[in-house]
Amino acid sequence: MSKKSFWKECDNKRLEELLLATKDLATTKHIQAVYLKACYNLKAEVIAKIVGLSKGYIWHIHAKYRQVGEAAFDLGSRGGRYHHNLNLQQEESIIADITESGDSGAILEVSSIKHRYEALAGKSVHKTVIYRMLKRHGWRKIAPRPSHPKNDKIAMDDFKKTSHKWFKTA
């Protein structure tokens, strides 16, 4: 079947139904690109300006629709964890171990978490991998307020009492 005859025989009513049924923006743009070609026989340049995609991508959408039909609009999910060392269940097992020791009052160090992670992953990783894992599971760094080890509370209080800056006159 030639391209021209394909577009003339295209089911425009079905495309309208699909347009009304879809809620995803990317899928809507794909269906619009096919609908504008089937109903109004617009060129790819015009469709690209209307839909907001490039001319070459419009050609790609049309070719895919001619080959597989409505399955061309099934874009699947976008994004995801393409590069990871451990799956989420393994990470959650590490987090569960950490939670138990943290709840008992132990101080958690990233180096010990890193060793557990590397043992499961089977390779060495940078410490930022551990920090990102902790953030992904809702953990955050909590540290005590820094103070000098040679602080003398009594000397500080005496200074406040005798200093002109702190001394109040009535």
Contact 125, 113 (CB under 8 A): no
- Per-residue pLDDT band for 169 (boundaries 50, 70, 90) equals low
Asked whether residue 86 carries a pLDDT value surpassing 60, the answer given is yes
Q: Which pTM value belongs to this model? A: 0.53
Question: How many other CB atoms are there within 10 angstroms of residue 162's CB atom?
Answer: 9
Asked whether residue 41 carries a pLDDT value surpassing 80, the answer given is yes
56 domain-assigned: yes
d(CA 145, CA 10) in angstroms, rounded, equals 69
118 domain-assigned: yes
The pLDDT of residue 167:
56
- Per-residue pLDDT band for 35 (boundaries 50, 70, 90) equals very high
Q: Which domain holds residue 25?
A: 3-73
Asked whether residue 1 carries a pLDDT value surpassing 90, the answer given is no
153 domain-assigned: no
Backbone angles phi, psi at 166, to 5 degrees: -95, -15
> Tell me, what CATH number does 63's domain have?
1.10.10
For residues 46-55, give the mean pLDDT.
96
